[in-house]
Structure 1
């Protein structure tokens, strides 16, 4: 059934400081104790034969000991390293530290560029190589930001999380396959060929995302929404959003996310989470050692599912780019 199709599986980790997400945004000195958990995670990755891509933010590279840990694996080609922007910890801090400005899409474009130059130069100095992949903290991205990334030498973005939205942006209707996004609208393919979008794996629990999203919008409009049809259908297994992440998803939901992506013939399965999940007590998803064991198990089991059922090929995001850059039609 799948002889003509083999998905690529990438594991992407937002590698950053830890703090109480329910509280204020952190201020320096930033706590990055979770980076000490990466050697254990790397051993785990070696055992299950995957190589993660770490999107690293400025708070992490401020400490030489963090640089040393990541450089060890990067130089051994057992991981990939890209850039991750948290505005509140990336110089220059010329903006008010608040929820609005935590979304890079809300920053003045000149300030965004200055922060990206600082982050890019810092990563290049720390690891001896100019970063070429990027993910925006809290996911937000627009076309002007994308153009800045291209001008700074980035070739890959992975900030688009299809059918996910926040107060500052919406990825409803986003493409789920690698594509060359327009500098005018990142949700649409464009003419540029400088930077490729490799979206996170996210959507619905049934393959026809576009139809489900369209019907969902209609059923949420007044006065129909008063009938609570979407809620009823969700309980019956429709209109449920799922994603390939061990954070707030069960193993069943993660495997379903893979199955649905394969049915859609999406060429990339992009699993994602935060480095702070690897240290119990830092996120709501991993509060205890038992949670950590279960977290690791969900990753291992969904990797096995993709490997054994679909013969997935496990690559870094840079390798995925090299695989698809010449064949992406849009």
Structure 2
């Protein structure tokens, strides 16, 4: 992907805005609670005060909950935040077939069923907000062989389902272990991968070495403790800020032009995700963002809204 020179080096923030569920339990179509959304206005205020737009990727329980729609309608009044789409296949009608782990990855579904779910969700979002969504993320990063064509047909411009360095094939999902962090074009769409960076003295080995270490008992842990190789995703969820700052330095030095950071909306209220279990965790969550945004300011890396990204892509 060739970015315009005047775009500079930027960062963007995607939020998986979703229902609450037990992350350790099987996926259940009855899990549609959205109580954590009450914490969203305060989070948005914090980001807006720093000039940061939120790309709110919402799923079916959020799009069909009047209280959540009202909250997000006020969020996009900042003029830079935007509503996108996130498909959680297990809570998104129509429902067909067994609720297996593999079926929780929308890209594994039969083309007609994935298309029907996408159409249902896109229509619900368009009705709720009066504007058709332009960006998409598959829940559980479950992009599949038909997804890009289906998204382009519905008018989407951007996908952000690829998570470089991660392999979900053991659970029936996609394997992104060798994916790159930079943006690229794919069948009428632009892919904006979540930013993952390998740090450490052996980082040149990247995904290939990290995958190989996964086949060695405790191999990844040994390399991480020896500061040889660590996989760092740019998210406050289970990623120490010191490692994230090192990852930014590495990626900036290698010329990455767009950093794509993310978090899940239920993390804004303690007790809904493994990452924010109590008030102390929430305090660390916000401290992570303060330090990261300070680092971007120091480096002259400005925030980019979805609209600014789409304009830059031409």
Q: How does 1:23-42 map to 2 (within 5 A)?
A: 23-28=25-30, 30-42=32-44
2:181 corresponds to which of 150, 162, 176: 176
Contact 1:53–1:80 (8 Å) recurs in 2? yes
Structure 2 residue aligned with 1:144:
146
Question: What is the aligned partner in structure 1 of residue 253 from structure 2?
Answer: 263
The total of aligned residue pairs comes to: 307
Alpha-carbon contact 1:207-1:261 (below 8 Å) kept: no
Q: 1:233: Cα distance to partner? A: 2.8
Give how far 1:158 is off: 0.5
Which string of whole-angstrom CA distances, capped at 9 and with x for unpartnered residues, describes residues 288-324 of structure 1? 112111101101110111111x20111123322322x
TM-score w.r.t. length of structure 1: 0.87
After TM superposition, give the deviation of residue 25 of structure 1 in Å. Answer: 1.8
Structure 1 219/58 Cα, relative in aligned 2: closer, same or farther at 3 Å? closer
Q: Secondary structure, in 3 states, of the residue corresponding to 1:172? A: coil
DSSP 3-state at the match of 2:16? strand
Contact 1:201/1:257 (CA < 8 Å) preserved in 2? Answer: no
Deviation at 1:179, TM superposition (A): 0.5
Give the Cα separation in 2 of the matches to 1:71 and 1:220.
44
1:175-207: CA deviation from partner (whole Å, max 9, x where unpaired): 2111102xxxxxxxxxx4x21011111131149
Deviation at 1:28, TM superposition (A): 3.0
Helix, strand or coil for the counterpart of 1:143?
Answer: coil
Matches of 2:209 and 2:239 in 1, distance apart? Answer: 24
**Residue equivalent to 2:273:** 283
1:1-330 alignment to 2 at 5 Å? 6-28=8-30, 30-166=32-168, 167=170, 168-181=173-186, 192=187, 194-206=188-200, 211-217=205-211, 225=216, 231-308=221-298, 310-323=299-312, 325-326=313-314
Q: Distance in 1 between matches of 2:7 and 2:110?
A: 43
Distance 1:150 1:229, change over 3 A: same
Structure 1 unaligned spans of 5+: 182-191
Instruction: Kindly report structure 1 stretches of 4+ aligned residues shifted beyond 4 Å.
Output: 206-210, 216-221, 228-231
> Secondary structure of the equivalent of 2:14?
strand
CA contact (8 A) 2:234 2:261 kept: yes
Q: Residues 121-149 of structure 1: CA distance to partner in whole angstroms, max 9, x if unpaired?
A: 11111111110100110012123211111
**Alpha-carbon distance, 1:160 to partner:** 0.7
- Return 5+ residue gaps in structure 2 as ranges: none
Q: 1:100 to 1:78 in 2, by over 3 A?
A: same
Change (3 A) 1:154 1:119: same
